[in-house]
Structure 1
Amino acid sequence: MKTKIITLSIIAVAFMSCNSGKKSETNDSLEVKEEVTQMETPTIKDEVATLENTKWVITKLEGKDMTDREKNGQIIHFVLDSETNSISGFSGCNTFMGTYKMEEGGRVSFSKLGSTRMACPDAKIDESLIINIFETADNFRITNNTLELNKAKMAPLAEFKKVVMDNEITETYWKLKTLDGKAVTMADNQEREIYFTLKNDGNRVTGFAGCNGLSGEYMLEDGNRIRFVNMATTLKACPDVDVNESAFLKIFELTDNYTVNNETLSLNVGKRAPLAVFEAVYFD
């Protein structure tokens, strides 16, 4: 009898151990599975972070290619500012602004947008089509640096590409030091030094060419690439000022890349010697 009890006890202990092992193994498998799922699925926060504080340039509108607008100087784009929940952008002639709201599941909504009222008879696009994208869209999707703004599950209203926002060279006063390898000195009767600044707002270029004010637009791309478009000056005549403004303006037409080193900016074409070199100037 004693032998039977011992035998039964051993069997019971073995059975319990076996069940415990299986349970542990099952739990471990579930934990691993859960871990893998969490690693493979991007979170809503990640998706939102990618959408916000990024410059998005239009590439397609209702399925039609829009990349030629960049060549024509119409760099149609927008940026969402996560701190103020505001949207700002450029629609081909005017800048626009408003607010937005993000929700789970890739949902986004925009307020009614306001814009400047500049007249652009030569503009090659109906700006209302751009504004309508944001007033219609209710969700978005990002794939490989391409953004789709959509209405429900219909075909995308528009597609945009992600563009580098380089704070290393924007919002800085760049004073001209050398032009075509020659040192630049300020003439005695020159109103102020030659300089330019890249503004984040609307990707605008502002500056002074030696006699006239300077304006235009720029676009930054990966690999320290930069393009200037719509560069123009005021039409003031300065016969007594010894400065070659056309030579300075030519660098913006030719430049396709830049380098920055120790508060010095070089504008270049290809891998040749710099077209022009600038130094950063800071004001109190």
Structure 2
Amino acid sequence: MKILTTFLLIFFLAACTSKPVSSKDNDITGKTWKLTEINGKPIQLKNPKSVPYFSLNMADMRYSGHGGCNGVGGTFEIKQEAMRIKFNQGMSTMIACDDLETEQLFTKALLAADNYSVNSNTLTLNKAKMAPLAKFVLQ
């Protein structure tokens, strides 16, 4: 019984001292996020120098980036405390390339996402509670 009481006390103290997640930990703005997975599969590019990426600018509430072939951008809405995000249809250049399919999936994932999660330097865009749409790492 003494061992059980000691274990419960240690467990309780550890729970009380754990660091709560703050909105600063969830801040994905002002950073560049490079695509690593789309629909649960690692990206495979014909041109590995053109990895899709994006960043969020809070000053004008715009996202910008590169889909692998074309520049992409538009406006976004974010609620960091709830980890909710919405990318609005924006603009894109119209250059054809070998990785156009990956670019289309990247753009589709951005526009479908309604929430996100952050784990260290990995960002995951999600739709509802379904499987992740896309995963990114800090560039």
TM-score w.r.t. length of structure 2: 0.74
2:67 aligned with 1:203: no
Consecutive unaligned residues in structure 1, runs of 5 or more: 1-163
Please, which of 189, 193, 203 is the counterpart of residue 51 of structure 2?
193
> What is the RMSD computed on CA atoms of the aligned residues?
2.1
Give percent identity, aligned residues only: 38
Confirm or deny: 8 A CA contact 1:226 1:256 kept in the other structure. yes
Alignment partner, residue 260 of structure 1: 118
Please, which of 177, 192, 199 is the counterpart of residue 36 of structure 2?
177
Q: Please say which structure displays the higher CA radius of gyration.
A: 1
Q: Provide the rounded CA distance (Å) in 2 between the counterparts of 1:230 and 1:277.
A: 20
Instruction: Output the amino acid matched with 1:230.
Output: Q
Alignment partner, residue 118 of structure 1: none
The structure where helix makes up a greater share of residues is 1
Q: Provide the rounded CA distance (Å) in 1 between the counterparts of 2:31 and 2:118.
A: 12
Q: CA deviation at 1:254?
A: 1.1
Q: CA deviation at 1:168?
A: 1.7
Alignment partner, residue 137 of structure 2: 279
Q: CA deviation at 1:252?
A: 1.7
Q: CA deviation at 1:165?
A: 8.9
Q: Number of residues paired by the alignment? A: 115
Q: Provide the rounded CA distance (Å) in 2 between the counterparts of 1:186 and 1:171.
A: 26
Shift in alpha-carbon separation, 1:211–1:192, aligned structure 2, 3 A? same
2:87 aligned with 1:235: no
SS in 2 for 1:249: helix
Q: Provide the rounded CA distance (Å) in 2 between the counterparts of 1:217 and 1:225.
A: 14
Q: Please show how residues 58-97 of structure 1 align to structure 2 within 5 Å.
A: none
Q: Provide the rounded CA distance (Å) in 1 between the counterparts of 2:30 and 2:100.
A: 25
Q: Provide the rounded CA distance (Å) in 2 between the counterparts of 1:251 and 1:192.
A: 18
Confirm or deny: 8 A CA contact 1:165 1:220 kept in the other structure. no
SS in 1 for 2:88: strand
Instruction: Output the amino acid matched with 1:242.
Output: D
Q: Please show how residues 1-284 of structure 1 align to structure 2 within 5 Å.
A: 168-188=27-47, 192-221=50-79, 222-238=81-97, 241-244=98-101, 245-281=103-139
Q: CA deviation at 1:247?
A: 1.5
Consecutive unaligned residues in structure 2, runs of 5 or more: 1-22
